[in-house]
Copies of this chain bind each other. A is one copy, B any other.
Amino acid sequence: MSEPLEELLGALSRLPGIGRRSAERIAFFLLAKPGEGKRLAEALAGLDRIGRCPQCGNFASDGLCSICRDPKRDGATLCVVARPWEIPHLERTGEYRGRYHVLGGLVSPSQDIGPEDLAVAGLVERVKAEGVREVILALEPKLEGDLTAMHLLRVLKPLGIAVSQLAHGIPVGRDLESADELTLGRALKGRTPL
């Protein structure tokens, strides 16, 4: 095996979900279709341009993200997630037309992460400034998600808005990403007021 091919196989094998055999399949595909390799390399070069939306914390490259920029999204509803990569999963349900707010993590006593380490102040500011009437908490139904939800409920309730959480459609103890669109969609529709 040639050295550049070994390097490519090594780099591909480090990606999540890609074993040695998948890496070979991809490498030989790229060798057969050089245009695809160029396309991927160019897309990777664009990684540097991906930053965060200054409003919600979603991935964005130029100022606001596409959701915050979209005037058709309902600004009166905010869905709170821990990480930006949870947003595409919720978007795929097609059930949600509001905006998002990314906390940047969850309260975790064991990792010494408190509410002050998360984008909670920004959330409160947005609720006040953007005329938000409902905040939906889409946090994982485990200890850290529950602790975070408890804290958010405490700071949001005094603002006189509705606070809800995703319905228990998500299998308990599983990640948000593992739920299929239907389950996630039902969890959104059947969100329970807190």
Contacts and interface: CB of A to CB of B under 8 A. Distances in A.
Contact of A5 (B2, B15, B34, B59): B59
A28 to B, nearest CB: 4
A17 B15 CA distance: 13
A11 B39 contact: yes
B39 A41 contact: no
B34 A47 contact: yes
Given A5-B59, A60-B2, A47 B30 contact: yes
A39 to B, nearest CB: 5
Interface residues of A, number: 50
Contacts of A4: 43, 46-47, 49-50, 61
Contact of A15 (B26, B41, B45, B48): B26
A108 interface: no
A66 interface: yes
Given A8-B44, A11-B43, A43-B4, A50 B31 contact: yes
A191 B135 CA distance: 68
